[in-house]
Amino acid sequence: MTDRPILFSAPMIRALLDGRKVQTRRVLKPPKPFAEGDDISVQVATGTIVPKIVAGDRLWVKETWRIDDYDDRETIYVADVPADVIRETKGIIKSRPSIFMPRTRSRLTLIVTDVRVQRLQDISEEDAEAEGLWYCPEGDGAGFWFSGPEMTEKHVWGEGSVECYARLWDHINGKGAWDANPWVAAYTFEVHKCNIDAMEPQP
């Protein structure tokens, strides 16, 4: 078992807190001499390239944050701040990027229960939904959405969960990222709403 940090955006944090997100996919980055975009199928098949994260690992979540103006012991998480407040305070209140969140300020811990290596487009409808989508059953917006009804400016939608996830992947990684169909590590996890150091040690 290893403890590792993992970064998530504010919409993904809300999906974790809501209990909608129990999977994440990360592109497998091959070591040199391979370059980004190289075909690493043989190396994946033979186990030369494998995910660093394994089942049983604990991941402490890093997210965008800032320290309370009146009490530096308190952490304010951007994912909890309404979108209109963020817009009104833009340029006035500066948040700290997720990469700079220390372990002591983290409030979410993920216990990895399963790791699979697959092509991105091999994701199933069920697994796509587990990436944090929510379902609208009727009306003009019927289908799958990300990241939820609180979104106002940037909607990601699809009639099926895979279609929605494909659009979400391009939204995050850039146009054409889904079509590139990279090898990814698909991680399934349990979400614990506490700091990693407040948890009981895993056996």
Residue 153 lies in a domain: no
Q: Is 90 exceeded by the pLDDT of residue 181?
A: yes
Span 35-63, pLDDT tens digits: 877 889 999 989 989 999 999 999 999 99
Q: What is the DSSP letter of 151?
A: -
Residue 164 lies in a domain: no
Among the listed residues 118, 138, 100, 130, the one whose alpha carbon sits nearest the alpha carbon of residue 186: 118
pLDDT of residue 147: 59
Q: Is 80 exceeded by the pLDDT of residue 192?
A: yes
Residue 74 lies in a domain: yes
Strand partners, 119: 183
Helix (H, G, I), strand (E, B) or coil at 196: helix
Q: In what order do the strands lie in the sheet with 109-119?
A: 3-7, 58-62, 109-119, 183-192, 23-27
Q: What is the DSSP letter of 154?
A: -
Residue 159 lies in a domain: no
Counting the structural domains of the chain, the total is 1
Q: Is 60 exceeded by the pLDDT of residue 119?
A: yes
Among the listed residues 171, 173, 193, the one whose alpha carbon sits nearest the alpha carbon of residue 182: 173
At 42, which helix (H) or strand (E)?
A: helix 41-45
Residue 146 lies in a domain: no
Domain, as residue range, for 193: 3-121+180-197
Residue 148 lies in a domain: no
* DSSP per position, 63-80: --EEE-SS-TT-EEEGGG
Q: Averaged over 110-132, what is the pLDDT? A: 97
Residue 137 lies in a domain: no
Q: Which residues contact 136 (CB under 8 A, 6 or more apart)?
A: 142, 143, 144, 145
Question: CA-based angle 100:172:14, to the nearest 5?
Answer: 65
pLDDT band at 26 (very low <50, low <70, confident <90, very high): very high
pLDDT of residue 97: 94
pLDDT of residue 89: 64
Residue 55 lies in a domain: yes
The listed range with the strongest mean pLDDT (66-80, 85-99, 137-151, 161-175) is 161-175
Which CATH number do you get for residue 114? 2.30.130.30
Instruction: Measure CA 63 to chain center.
Output: 10
pLDDT band at 72 (very low <50, low <70, confident <90, very high): confident
